[in-house]
């Protein structure tokens, strides 16, 4: 009687060990597959005057000067200049390389900015107080500009690209670091004024 019990106990132990090995192998694959997809750094120019991401209000055609009013601008050196309200003065913050990577990841990977195919998203509503915004991204060896008009209100008319573009706009306009400083002077690192 001793031999069958010993044999069953040995088989149970071997099955338990095999099960644990398989479980750990699956956990290892899951952990490392997630690290590979988010671990790739997005390349960008790190100079102070280089605009990585800009959300600017397009000027109205009535004036002779065509200067975009900046709403949210991220420079290559990590300087972020933004408004908390449309008529507000500018705020400034210095972002870490990790924060820059997170912002670019949201724009490029999660919301697929560079795979969008249109030059304009949303509807132009004449007589509306909403101005068109120009979204510019220059990273990962690519440069692209997209106009954002008023967001469509009917869900049937919104496709996935439109949803992604307006998600980027909302993300940027709501991104206000706590360590930002009030900046009454308009930050212009390249000294050219405007865009």
- How large is the average pLDDT for residues 175-179? 90
Pull the structure tokens for residue 34: 């997630």
Q: Which residues contact 113 (CB under 8 A, 6 or more apart)?
A: 107, 135, 137, 144, 146, 164, 165, 168
Res. 191: pLDDT tops 70: no
SS3 98: helix
What's phi and psi for 20, nearest 5 deg? Answer: -65, -40
Q: Which two tokens stand for residue 25?
A: 């192998």
DSSP 153-170: --GGG--HHHHHHHHHHH
74: helix, strand or coil: strand
| The pLDDT of residue 20 is above 50 | yes
User: What confidence category does residue 16 fall into, taking pLDDT thresholds of 50, 70 and 90?
Assistant: confident
Whether the CB-CB separation of 26 and 52 falls below 8 Å is answered with: no
Q: How far is CA 192 from the centre of its chain?
A: 27
Burial of 56 from C-beta contacts in 10 A (0-12 / 13-18 / 19+)? buried
pTM value is: 0.69
Q: Which of 181, 151, 153, 154 is nearest to 168 (CA)?
A: 151
SS3 36: helix
- pLDDT of 147 > 70? The answer is yes
Any idea what DSSP says for residue 150? B
Res 195 pLDDT > 60: no
Q: What is the DSSP letter of 61?
A: T
Query: For residue range 2-11, what is the model confidence (pLDDT) as tens digits?
Result: 677 888 888 8
- 46-49: long-range contacts (C-beta < 8 A, 24 or more apart)? 46/76, 46/77, 47/75, 47/76, 47/77, 48/75, 48/76, 48/77, 48/79, 48/189, 49/75, 49/76, 49/189, 49/190
CATH class, 51-183 region: alpha beta
Domain ranges of the chain: 1-39, 51-183
The pLDDT of residue 62 is above 60: no
Write down the residue that tokens 């699956």 correspond to: 26
Predicted confidence band of residue 64 (pLDDT cuts 50, 70, 90): very low
In the predicted structure, residue 164 carries a pLDDT above the cut 70? yes
What mean pLDDT is predicted for residues 14-42? Answer: 71
């Amino acid at each position: 009687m001793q031999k069958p019990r010993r044999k069953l106990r040995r088989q149970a132990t071997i099955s338990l060990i095999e099960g644990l090995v398989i479980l750990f192998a699956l956990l290892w694959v899951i952990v490392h597959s997630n690290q590979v997809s988010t671990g790739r750094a997005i390349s960008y120019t790190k100079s102070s005057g280089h605009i990585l991401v800009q959300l600017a209000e397009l000027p109205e055609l009535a004036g002779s000067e065509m200067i975009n009013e900046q709403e949210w601008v991220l420079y290559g050196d990590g300087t972020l200049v933004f408004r908390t309200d449309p008529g507000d003065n500018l705020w400034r913050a210095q972002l870490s390389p990790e924060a820059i990577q997170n912002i670019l990841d949201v724009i490029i990977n999660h919301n697929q900015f560079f795979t969008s195919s249109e030059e304009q998203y949303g509807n132009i509503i004449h007589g509306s107080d909403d101005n068109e915004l120009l979204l510019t991204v220059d990273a990962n060896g690519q440069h692209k500009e997209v106009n954002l008009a008023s967001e469509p209100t009917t869900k049937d008319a919104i496709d996935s690209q439109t949803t992604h573009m307006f998600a980027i706009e909302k993300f940027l306009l709501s991104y206000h670091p706590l360590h930002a400083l009030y900046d009454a002077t308009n930050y212009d690192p390249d000294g050219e004024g405007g865009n």
